Structure 1
Amino acid sequence: MLKKTLLLVALFSLVAFSQQWQERPSWYWNGESWISQFGNPLARARKWIEYNPIADSCNKERWEIPFLDTISVAQWIRWSIEGTKNLWRVRKIGDFCGIGPIMCLKSNEDVVMSFEGFENPTNGETEIEKWFYFTDTTVYEPDVNWQWISASDLNNYTIRFDFPNGCQPQAIKIWERIIVEQCDRACEYVDPDGATIVLTLTVIKDWIDPETGEYNL
């Protein structure tokens, strides 16, 4: 019953929007030519007017017609990561750390980074402990005072990227640490189910489909 009610509400909202607002042709300048955006769910921008014709006539000198211009800007993100697979080749036992990939982000609002499914690499019987740490890109060597984050604890860890002044790009360096013990067997160790880095936008407009990023009208 609840699903039917929500569906009806969404349907009525869509009908009300289509009756009240009328989409008008719009174009995007790509530096060389104007590209039509009309009716395209993947358009960079689209334009509507509230279709409510008014008219009048008289002989008076001054007419005042109220006019309102509104621009609703969605949050966007541009990101890159140097790689999504890490490989250690360990010849001797020991405590090691190394620099992993650098991730770069740029957005017009804050972005939250979280982590899912991180575990110690295993050969199916035993594990090799693994930790993580994060710095900016100006750090080139590890510090003895770092508080390393275990693979399992990383799943409860978040990093917030603030973009208060425009959208200056930010970058983060991912460090890894492993400890290989004397009795660790000579074989391959992998994170059994893989893991995921999640980037979450903090401002989602109601006219954006959060799953696809397309128009949701």
Structure 2
Amino acid sequence: MNRFLVILVLAVIGVLGFAQGTVRSLDVWEITGSGSVVQLDENTGNARAYASMSAEGSCNKKVWTLQFTTEVQVAQWAEWSISATKWTWFVRKPGDYYADAIQFSLKSNGDVQLSASGFNDLEYATGGGVNRYIETYYYLTTDASNTPPSTSVWVRASDVNGSLVVEDSAALHEGMTAHLWNRIHVVNCNSASTYRDTGIITLTLLNQKPWINPDDGSWGNTVDYVTQEK
């Protein structure tokens, strides 16, 4: 008999535990900017919702108190654009030249790390050459007027490499714009040829949620992050 009671109690506890921990996926609709209403697909929509932590009671107590919690976990997003990813120069004679800017725009709701690598002086692309390198400089400005830079503000290409963090701010949420200028110094001993260098800029979202697939930004297993916290 005692063994039977133990099994019965464990079974009841198990059922209650399952009820408390059940997570139910909900249908979700979006009110668009135009005012129309669209039901979201669970796999492709931008929001999901779950109901969890069911409760029940049955006795003669006078007052029942129920807590209701709404929790929203917001992923980090980013929108960016760049007006070009290549400068192509045509130079007839030696000189110190600089060109107008490439424009870069960034918008996000969290810290974004910008990392630069591979930026160096332009190198002779084929064969030998007397001087295999062309001195190369860059200038970055967030000045909306995009005023041409003075000679003192240019940064040598190799010094561009490194990282910086654009911190979460109202300005970043609204969108920030920067202009990148390019300067080359062609000298007499640069042989006739093509010179080239390719650098890499990497954007990393530093406050991304673990339920976002880091490779493509798609949904991960969100149900695992439905917590019991209130």
Whether the TM-score (by the shorter chain) exceeds 0.5 is: yes
Counterpart residue number, 1:178: 184
Distance 2:73 2:164 in 1: 27
TM-score between the two structures when normalised by the length of structure 2: 0.75
Q: Which range is displaced more, 57-66 or 97-106? A: 57-66
Q: Which residue of 2 aligns with 1:35?
A: 38
Aligned to 2:112: 111
Query: Where do 5+ consecutive residues of structure 2 fail to align?
Result: 1-17, 222-230
Asked whether 1:198 is paired with 2:205, we answer: no
The answer on whether the counterparts of 2:122 and 2:133 sit within 8 Å (CA) in structure 1 is yes
Task: Provide the rounded CA distance (Å) in 2 between the counterparts of 1:36 and 1:141.
Answer: 50
1:20 shift after superposition: 4.3
**Is it true that 1:152 corresponds to 2:163 in the alignment?**
no
TM-superposed CA distance for 1:72, in Å, is: 0.6
1:213 aligns with 217
- What is the distance in 1 between the residues matched to 2:140 and 2:165? 12
Give, as a single letter, the amino acid of the residue that structure 1 aligns with 2:151.
V
Partner of 1:83: 84
Shift of residue 58 of structure 1? 4.8
CA contact under 8 A between 2:113 and 2:164: conserved in structure 1?
Answer: yes
Deviation at 1:59, TM superposition (A): 5.8
Can you list the C-alpha shifts for 1:133-173, whole angstroms capped at 9, x where unaligned? 21113231111321x332223222x3332332261211111
Aligned length: 194
| Distance verdict in 2 for CA 1:94–1:29, change over 3 Å | same
Distance 1:119 1:21 in 2: 54
Quote the Cα distance in structure 2 between the aligned partners of 1:59 and 1:45: 41
* Pick aligned residue for 2:140 from 124, 129, 134: 134
8 Å contact from structure 1 (residues 86, 100) kept in 2: no
Distance, in Å, in 2 between the alignment partners of 1:111 and 1:91 is 41
User: Does 2:166 match 1:161?
Assistant: yes
Aligned-pair identity in percent equals: 32
2:150 is aligned with what amino acid? Answer: D
Q: Deviations over 1:13-33 (max 9, x none)?
A: xxx9xx743221112233354
Tell me which residue corresponds to 1:143. 150
Give the 3-state SS of the residue equivalent to 2:159 in structure 1: helix
Report SS of the residue matched to 1:176: strand
In 1, the alpha carbon distance for the partners of 2:123 and 2:80 equals 30
CA deviation after TM superposition for structure 1 residue 99, in Å: 2.4
User: What is residue 50 of structure 2 aligned with on the other side?
Assistant: 48
Aligned partners of 2:50, 2:41: CA distance in 1, in Å? 10
**Paired position in structure 2 for 1:73:** 74
8 Å contact from structure 1 (residues 134, 173) kept in 2 = yes
Aligned to 2:227: none
Larger radius of gyration: 2
Aligned counterparts of 1:135 and 1:38: Cα–Cα separation in 2:
42
Contact 1:27 1:38 in 2 (8 A): no
Question: Does the CA-based 8 Å contact 2:22-2:54 persist in structure 1?
Answer: no
Alpha-carbon distance change, 159 to 139 in structure 1, aligned in 2, over 3 angstroms: farther
RMSD over aligned Cα, in angstroms?
2.3
